[in-house]
Structure 1
Amino acid sequence: MLNSVYPVRALLLAIFLLMAGSGFLSTLLAVRLEVAGASAGVIGLVATAYFGGLMLGSMRVERVIARIGHIRAFAAFVTVYSASSLTYAILDNPGVWTMLRFIDGFAMAGVFVCLESWLNQQASPQNRSGVLAFYMIALYSGQAAGQFLLNLGDSAPDLPFMVSAILLSIALLPVLLTRMEQPRIDAVAPFSLKRLYKVSPLGIIGTLITGAMLGAFYALGAVYIQRIGMGLSEVALFTSCVIAGGVALQYPLGILSDRFDRRLVVIACFLAAALICLPIALADLGATWTIGLGSLFGGFAFALYPLCVAHSNDHLSEEERIGASSGLVLTYSAGAVAGPLIGSAGMGAFGPAGLFAVIGGLALIGGLFGIGRTFARAAVPADDQQAFQSLPRTTPMAAVLEAETPIQDDH
């Protein structure tokens, strides 16, 4: 498998550095707004702007990349993000930060499209699964490691923004110095939502709810930890452990879903997430239990998106999967746009407990919807299910990398 990584090592290093430099910014901004006395609604609005920019960028940046090329486009998007990171330290204003987060989301969409289309070109049918697996490792390990940069703000409030800009700037080097041929972007046309729902109701509703759950968590998880009396180091550890838990359980749950009715695994993940949210919301657990349960929550919640995509693909022909997966990425993004607003409303109404009460309620709705679907349609036989593949929730371009991975027979 290491042989599959060597040709794309520059791209994997770039995504690790990018996520280390940018993945903690949403947490950092939420912490700073909370300290400044901003309401949960304002914090949620700032977070929603990022997901809105990511969603719009996913649909628009391909034109920019096609016009100026991957390397120059990548450099432009990363430069904008780096400049934005420094601007947060200069202009401490929620309105300005909302605008900057929208720009960040749009720029990050461009980065993802550049890197994922490049990875797609470099991957072959024989090593595509390995490339995708290492891409996921680089992405989530960078995001998890970056959370600990929050602690730099204890001694110098502006230092985390500066380190973010430095890491983003360094991430340019592996791509600017590469000798790899620039890829051609093939347009990915997503299914209409109506058709996607008809093909797989649980796939699209599950993806939408998952987006709302994780959008709310990314926006307000740090605020929850602070409002229950924990410090910045606990915020960093909690967020990092949730991400790490999400990585750890994806493959075991995916393998389980290959062997049984995948819907039952989706339902179990939704109900498990709902059950875990209950004590986090209602009990005074202390740091150890809160972080431990957060890791379990991440394990089940992060697995839901690839499980819903795999379930949808079980009902599709191979040539339909790219369009469907692309549509599901955008559906997830739509949920992520709504999630911070729903979560902030919950916190505004019920205090800190409102965040995980809302996330748990969304998970319960997803589980109940899944139970209803088991009575509406017969299960796909386990031998006919597509093999589970863990995949990122980034842009429709990731659907190309995932959907062209050869199907393996594990039965």
Structure 2
Amino acid sequence: MLSPAIPARTLLLAIFVLMAGSGFLSTLIAIRLELAGASALLIGLVATSYFGGLMVGSLRVERVIARIGHIRAFAAFVTVYSATSLSYAILDHPGIWIALRFLDGFMMAGVFVCLESWLNEQASPQTRSTALAAYMIALYSGQAAGQFLLNLGDRSPDLPFMVSAILLSIALLPVLLTRMEQPKMEAIKPFSIRRLYEVSPLGIVGTLVNGAMLGAFYALGAVYIQRIGMGLSQVALFTSCVIAGGVLLQYPLGVLSDRFDRRLVVIGCFLAAAAICAPLGLFVLPATATIALGSLFGGFAFALYPLCVAHSNDHLDEQERVGASSGLVLTYSAGAVAGPLLGSAGMGILGPSGLFAVLGSLALMGGIFGIWRSFARSAVPAEDQQAFQSLPRTTPMASVLEGEDNG
């Protein structure tokens, strides 16, 4: 099944190791700030800085890569990221951490653009879906596996940062030693927000709300688990299960959306996420129930971004889809910038349960908006809908793989 991805195996190995070394840092930093007595607002600001760097980087790094080439640019981005990982252990100040997280986000955007544009170059039109699937498996598997490195903090507070830097440095090797030809950069111009809304109001609003939901969760999910009395190992398990649940439910929900009015599936995911958040926001549940509900939340919440992209594509011409998808990535990033601030405000007012109160409220608003849109516009017939394609929420370059395959 994944044989078309074999020529790009070095890129897949690089993203797996890189995500294993970096994917747990947001959780680790939130935990460290929580242990230091930082407020939920400060923790949210640090997380917001990362998503801000990711959004700015998505718009700016293409020029750097085009000027110096993929290999040298990738090496520069990862080297800086490795250095910042060690800096957290040395420069223990929230203000400095805000700056470091912005830098992390910017560098990670560069990494994603390098690998995704390179993967696009390696894949043929017939194998793009398989290549994208392999990329997503490598990305999310690395992110889920990396969460368990949080447990190293029991031995030494600085050890997780050191292991992160080691893994990021190792992630350089597959790319530095590859004999694959470097691709040429092609700029992608996203649609304007106004144009996106005119084409698909639910697509743009759903993406924005989903970005806020997952931005808040990534920033403060670990803080929630700690404040309800669970330990570090349970934080790692909870976060990993949310990511795994998000990956496992995307395909069945996508198949469902191909057969029925896609808006109903989007609405269902929003309302299901809101329903799952209700008990987490109202009660302190046993660890097993909390982890199980977290997995379900991840399943529905992770599916929303590719569903919204697919819904937007249902209303677009073929040549417009890459630009629209890249615009939706940036819209998601904008939501992710706001999400940690909303989540921290909720926790500041309501305590730990405030996080899921905010997440549930956002999901409910997304569902209500979708219901309104289902009355305002007729559905696209199921036979005219574009095929669902799972997509990572990374940079506009990921939309090239999805977009060209649909052609």
Residue aligned with 2:180, SS: coil
Residue aligned with 2:406, SS: coil
- Corresponding position: 1:11 with 2:11: yes
| Structure 1 match to 2:298 | 298
- Corresponding position: 1:264 with 2:264: yes
| Structure 2 match to 1:201 | 201
| Cα distance in 1 for residues equivalent to 2:170 and 2:155 | 24
C-alpha deviation, 1:339, in angstroms: 0.1
Amino acid at match of 2:194: K
- Corresponding position: 1:158 with 2:162: no
| Cα distance in 2 for residues equivalent to 1:88 and 1:132 | 33
| Structure 1 match to 2:217 | 217
| Structure 1 match to 2:175 | 175
Amino acid at match of 1:92: D
Please list, as runs of the form range in 1=range in 2, the aligned pairs for 1:21-170 lying within 5 A after superposition: 21-170=21-170
| Cα distance in 2 for residues equivalent to 1:276 and 1:301 | 11
Do 2:27 and 2:222's aligned partners in 1 also have CA atoms closer than 8 Å?
A: yes
| Structure 2 match to 1:380 | 380
- CA shift digits 1:20-64 (9 cap, x unpaired): 000000000000000000000000000000000000000000000
| Cα distance in 2 for residues equivalent to 1:3 and 1:105 | 32
| Structure 2 match to 1:326 | 326
| Structure 2 match to 1:403 | 403
Do 2:2 and 2:134's aligned partners in 1 also have CA atoms closer than 8 Å?
A: no
Do 2:274 and 2:363's aligned partners in 1 also have CA atoms closer than 8 Å?
A: yes
Do 2:89 and 2:161's aligned partners in 1 also have CA atoms closer than 8 Å?
A: yes
Do 2:21 and 2:146's aligned partners in 1 also have CA atoms closer than 8 Å?
A: yes
| Cα distance in 2 for residues equivalent to 1:162 and 1:33 | 18
| Cα distance in 2 for residues equivalent to 1:341 and 1:166 | 31
| Structure 2 match to 1:243 | 243
- CA shift digits 1:279-325 (9 cap, x unpaired): 01111211000000000000000000000000000000110000000
| Cα distance in 1 for residues equivalent to 2:319 and 2:284 | 50
Amino acid at match of 1:290: T
Between the aligned residues of both structures, percent identity stands at 82
| Structure 2 match to 1:228 | 228
Stretch moving more, 362-371 or 393-402? 393-402
Structure 1, unpaired ranges of 5+: none
C-alpha deviation, 1:2, in angstroms: 2.7
| Cα distance in 1 for residues equivalent to 2:201 and 2:97 | 36
Amino acid at match of 1:229: G
Residue aligned with 1:405, SS: helix
| Cα distance in 2 for residues equivalent to 1:62 and 1:383 | 37
TM-score by length of 2: 0.99
| Cα distance in 1 for residues equivalent to 2:309 and 2:126 | 22
Amino acid at match of 1:170: I
Amino acid at match of 1:372: W
C-alpha deviation, 1:406, in angstroms: 3.4
| Cα distance in 1 for residues equivalent to 2:196 and 2:185 | 24
C-alpha deviation, 1:391, in angstroms: 0.5
| Cα distance in 1 for residues equivalent to 2:144 and 2:58 | 23
| Cα distance in 1 for residues equivalent to 2:220 and 2:207 | 20
| Cα distance in 2 for residues equivalent to 1:182 and 1:137 | 23
Do 2:70 and 2:183's aligned partners in 1 also have CA atoms closer than 8 Å?
A: yes
- CA shift digits 1:330-373 (9 cap, x unpaired): 00000000000000000001100100000000000000000000
Stretch moving more, 167-176 or 395-404? 395-404
Residue aligned with 1:404, SS: helix
C-alpha deviation, 1:185, in angstroms: 1.1
| Cα distance in 2 for residues equivalent to 1:69 and 1:47 | 30
Amino acid at match of 1:277: C
| Structure 2 match to 1:351 | 351
| Cα distance in 1 for residues equivalent to 2:310 and 2:267 | 14
TM-score by length of 1: 0.99
- Corresponding position: 1:336 with 2:336: yes
C-alpha deviation, 1:125, in angstroms: 1.1
Residue aligned with 2:405, SS: coil
C-alpha deviation, 1:399, in angstroms: 1.1
| Cα distance in 1 for residues equivalent to 2:106 and 2:125 | 31
Amino acid at match of 1:235: V
| Cα distance in 2 for residues equivalent to 1:268 and 1:231 | 33
Amino acid at match of 1:275: A
| Cα distance in 2 for residues equivalent to 1:84 and 1:34 | 20
| Structure 1 match to 2:191 | 191
C-alpha deviation, 1:77, in angstroms: 0.1
| Cα distance in 2 for residues equivalent to 1:296 and 1:42 | 28
C-alpha deviation, 1:402, in angstroms: 1.2
- Corresponding position: 1:315 with 2:315: yes
| Cα distance in 2 for residues equivalent to 1:395 and 1:130 | 19
Runs of 4+ in structure 1 deviating by more than 4 angstroms, as ranges, are none
Structure 2, unpaired ranges of 5+: none
| Cα distance in 2 for residues equivalent to 1:26 and 1:284 | 24
What is the aligned residue count?
A: 407
